[in-house]
Amino acid sequence: MGKTKDVRGAVEAELSFDPMVDSAHITVVNLAGNVALNGTVPSYPQYLEAAAAARRVAGVATVDNHLEVVLPDSDYRDDAKLTTAANNALAANVTVPDSVEATAEDGNITLTGTVSYGTERAAAEAAVGGVAGVRNVWNNIDISYGIDPVDVDLHVQQALERSALVPDDSDVTAETKDGIITLTGHVRTWAEHDAVVGAALMAVGVIDVTDDIQVTG
- Say whether both 29 and 7 belong to one domain: yes
Which one, of 175, 166, 95, 82, lies nearest residue 131 by Cα? 82
For position 173, what pLDDT does the model report? 86
pLDDT at 148 over 70: no
Average pLDDT over residues 126-151: 84
- CATH classification of the domain holding 13: 3.30.1340.30
- CA–CA gap between residue 35 and residue 9 (Å, rounded): 11
* Mean pLDDT to the nearest integer, 5-17: 93
Query: What confidence tier does 30 reach under pLDDT thresholds 50, 70, 90?
Result: very high
Number of domains in the chain: 3
Domain extent, residue 107, equals 74-143
* pLDDT given at position 149: 52
Give 168's contacts (C-beta < 8 A, 6+ positions apart). 161
User: What 3-state DSSP class applies to 60?
Assistant: coil
Mean pLDDT in residue range 116-123 = 86
Between 61-75, 130-144, 185-199, the lowest mean confidence (pLDDT) is in 185-199
User: pLDDT band at residue 1, thresholds of 50, 70 and 90?
Assistant: very low
**Domain with 117 in it: what CATH number?**
3.30.1340
What local confidence, expressed as pLDDT, does residue 176 receive?
Answer: 80
Nearest by Cα to 64 from 23, 30, 36: 36
Q: What sections of 101-189 are H helices per DSSP?
A: 118-129, 152-162
3-class state of residue 28 by DSSP: strand
DSSP β-bridge partners for residue 185:
213
Q: What ranges in 56-184 are assigned the alpha helix state H? A: 79-92, 118-129, 152-162
Cβ atoms of 208 and 179 closer than 8 Å: yes
Q: Pick the last residue of a domain from 43, 69, 95.
A: 69
What 8-15 contacts at long range (C-beta under 8 Å, 24+ apart), as own/partner pairs, is 8/35, 10/57, 10/58, 10/59, 11/35, 11/53, 11/54, 11/57, 11/60, 14/53, 14/54, 14/56, 14/57, 15/50, 15/53, 15/54
Query: Could you report the per-residue pLDDT of 164-196, keeping only the tens digit for each?
Result: 888 888 898 888 877 788 899 999 888 889 888
Ranked by mean pLDDT, which of 29-33, 89-93, 163-167, 199-203 comes out on top? 89-93
Is residue 138 located within the same domain as residue 78?
yes
The length of the chain is 217
Question: Of 45, 69, 93, which one is at a domain's C-terminal end?
Answer: 69
Answer yes or no: pTM beyond 0.85.
Answer: no
Cα(160)–Cα(172) distance, rounded to whole angstroms?
9
* C-alpha span between 112 and 121 (Å, rounded): 10
Query: Is residue 18 classed exposed, middle or buried when 0-12, 13-18 and 19+ CB atoms within 10 A define those classes?
Result: middle
> Taking residues 9-33, what's their average pLDDT?
96
**Cα–Cα dist 187/184, whole Å:** 10
For residues 86 and 126, state if they share a domain.
yes
